[in-house]
Structure 1
Amino acid sequence: MNSKNITIIGGGNLGSSIAKGLVQSGLLKPEQITVTNLELHLIQHLKDEIGVNITTNNLEAINNSQIVIVAVKPTVARILLNEIKEPLQKGKQVLISVISGIKIQDLEDILVDVPVIRAMPNTAIAIQESMTALSFNEKGLEHKDEVVEIFDQLGATMIIPESQMPAATVLASCGIAFALRFMRAASQGGIEIGLSSKQSLEVAAQIMKGASKLIIENGTHPEPEIDKVTTPLGVTIKSLNKMEHEGFSSSLVQGVVSGHKKILETES
């Protein structure tokens, strides 16, 4: 893996986050990574900050790489894929798509006989804390170990059937926004009860980190951990019951379900 070059087509938020995560993980050297974008000035910061190669020439970048990550918007995906299909079909590159809503079959319809992997990370990939779901076509499975190695360096990975990708997209990718909205709301509550804005945000961020590590490292379910701090007649249970009365859990569940329906509509 350390001898291979990677091209990331599309230097937006997600593409840039992947580049930063790969460099920070130490899996690849900056000079092994090339990021492309139609407007070079939009990715100049990547060259300045982490030293990766940047270019507007997709074909040249692909020809110099063994792994190609496509991170463009769904609206331009098919046009882009048709532009790059010839070198991909002639070469031996592995294509990893992080394009939301574009199925493996859609990719195979354009890219004949190309190893294809569909990946759905989130923006925490920039700090190597993504939750990334992976699905493979038959040829892509031949490269499973090296693809998992890449994304394991950038957080945690989960291999799933593609039929579960819409659900993984909502919970893993959109879920970052859900968690951050909870953090913001909790910090606003902290301000109302007397903490400064800075103090409230620091506390809210740390409690989310601590809660996550309790579940990940102990392998427990949230409820036993909640029980540890909900004493009879106590403050925690009073607060939780008020939140549930106002629809806390229900609104979150409905938000996740609503997002899933939206994705299914987009993919149909």
Structure 2
Amino acid sequence: MEVHKKIAVIGTGNLGNAIVEGMIESQKFSADNIIATRRQTHLIDSLQQKGVHTTSDNCQAVRESHIVILAVQPKQLEQILHEIADDLHEDHIIVSVITGVAIEQIGRLLSKPIAIVRAMPNTAIAIKQSMTCIAHRNVSPDSLSEVQSIFDTLGKTLIIDEELMAAATVLGACGIAFFMRFIRAASQGGIEVGFHAEEAQLIAAQTAKGAASLLLAHHTHPEQEIDKVTTPQGCTIAGLNEMEHNGLSSALIKGVKASFNRIADIT
């Protein structure tokens, strides 16, 4: 079923662009119902060519929409909210995908009773494979459902307490880079054992996709799936043990914690 509510994306940079591309790709949203803003509109000409309304006028975008997705930089938030405040009304739903900005902070800057939702997607939203964590405060079930319906078409969603949003950012958003680095390392290993670079990357990427799909489809623990692959004195357990001896799991855990600590430093 197509969603007919007008949606404005304020600040169509990398993430905002990915959200718009993902909505169009899902075929649940008509490009004609999406308004994308950017100061330099020529940078989003590709969206305009797909039927999206593009403009540098944030106020116009807000006036013509029901759901307003804020995808600007944290330092731009106060200026943007001051700019659009007069055009926001109680029927609007604000969705913030801005890292490190609390719902309370947005509410304080607006000083009017508007539904506010925080969402933390990742860049896989452009291919409808995002993991999006959603938090809210005093938002009606209907409004929350409207927001979740957007991100449900763009991957998987999870409603969490806002206190966990920094952790969700690390595991879900930064996590894209972590898994990319693992795939890159696996590809380099594949080159060492005889594959050309593009062949090694294809095998590593598809295998990673398959591993994740097994967990999502079977709802199993990773160790259960690992046990299906390992055999006594086999090559799989030899490789796993060598990786663990060199700190694979420990390095990943430390990396997640380091990213989490850095978020605490910058927010």
User: What range describes the TM-score normalised by the shorter chain of this pair?
Assistant: over 0.9
Q: In 2, Cα distance between the equivalents of 1:126 and 1:51?
A: 17
Q: Is contact 1:116–1:140 with CA below 8 Å preserved after alignment?
A: no
TM-score with structure 1 setting the length: 0.96
Instruction: Name the counterpart of 2:103.
Output: 104
Report how far residue 141 of structure 1 moved: 4.6
Q: In 1, Cα distance between the equivalents of 2:140 and 2:107?
A: 11
Report how far residue 139 of structure 1 moved: 3.2
Q: In 2, Cα distance between the equivalents of 1:109 and 1:266?
A: 20
Instruction: Check if 1:3 corresponds to 2:43.
Output: no
Call closer, same or farther: CA 1:26–1:128 in 2, change over 3 Å. same
Report how far residue 140 of structure 1 moved: 5.3
Instruction: String of CA shifts for 1:15-49, please: whole Å, max 9, x gaps.
Output: 0010011111111111100100011111112212x
TM-score with structure 2 setting the length: 0.96
- Which amino acid letter does the alignment assign opposite residue 42 of structure 1? L
Instruction: Check if 1:71 corresponds to 2:71.
Output: yes
Instruction: Check if 1:162 corresponds to 2:166.
Output: no
Report how far residue 265 of structure 1 moved: 2.1
Instruction: Name the counterpart of 2:232.
Output: 232
Match of 1:43, SS state, is helix
Aligned length: 265
Match of 2:68, SS state, is strand
Q: In 2, Cα distance between the equivalents of 1:15 and 1:141?
A: 25
Q: In 2, Cα distance between the equivalents of 1:91 and 1:158?
A: 26
Percent of counterpart pairs with the same letter? 45
Q: In 2, Cα distance between the equivalents of 1:238 and 1:179?
A: 22
Write out aligned runs for 1:72-91 (5 A).
72-88=72-88, 90=89
- Which amino acid letter does the alignment assign opposite residue 244 of structure 2? E
Q: In 2, Cα distance between the equivalents of 1:130 and 1:140?
A: 24
- Which amino acid letter does the alignment assign opposite residue 181 of structure 1? R
Instruction: String of CA shifts for 1:196-223, please: whole Å, max 9, x gaps.
Output: 0111010011101100110000000000
Instruction: Name the counterpart of 2:206.
Output: 206
- RMSD after superposition: 1.2
Instruction: Check if 1:58 corresponds to 2:58.
Output: yes
Q: Is contact 2:90–2:115 with CA below 8 Å preserved after alignment?
A: no
- Which amino acid letter does the alignment assign opposite residue 110 of structure 1? L
Q: Is contact 2:90–2:114 with CA below 8 Å preserved after alignment?
A: no
Structure 1: 5+ residue runs without aligned partners?
A: none
- Which amino acid letter does the alignment assign opposite residue 11 of structure 2? G
Match of 2:98, SS state, is coil
Instruction: Name the counterpart of 1:23.
Output: 24
Match of 1:228, SS state, is helix
Instruction: String of CA shifts for 1:144-179, please: whole Å, max 9, x gaps.
Output: 111111110010000001001011010011101111
Instruction: Name the counterpart of 2:151.
Output: 151
Instruction: Check if 1:180 corresponds to 2:180.
Output: yes
Q: Bigger CA drift: 73-82 or 242-251?
A: 73-82
Divergent runs of 4+, >2 A: 139-142
Instruction: String of CA shifts for 1:203-261, please: whole Å, max 9, x gaps.
Output: 01110110011000000000011111111111111111111111111110000011111
Instruction: String of CA shifts for 1:76-100, please: whole Å, max 9, x gaps.
Output: 1222122112211x35211000000
Match of 2:117, SS state, is strand
Q: In 1, Cα distance between the equivalents of 2:52 and 2:140?
A: 26
Q: Is contact 2:8–2:67 with CA below 8 Å preserved after alignment?
A: yes
Structure 2: 5+ residue runs without aligned partners?
A: none
Report how far residue 51 of structure 1 moved: 2.1
Q: In 2, Cα distance between the equivalents of 1:141 and 1:173?
A: 26
Q: In 2, Cα distance between the equivalents of 1:11 and 1:254?
A: 33
Q: In 2, Cα distance between the equivalents of 1:208 and 1:105?
A: 38
Match of 2:229, SS state, is coil
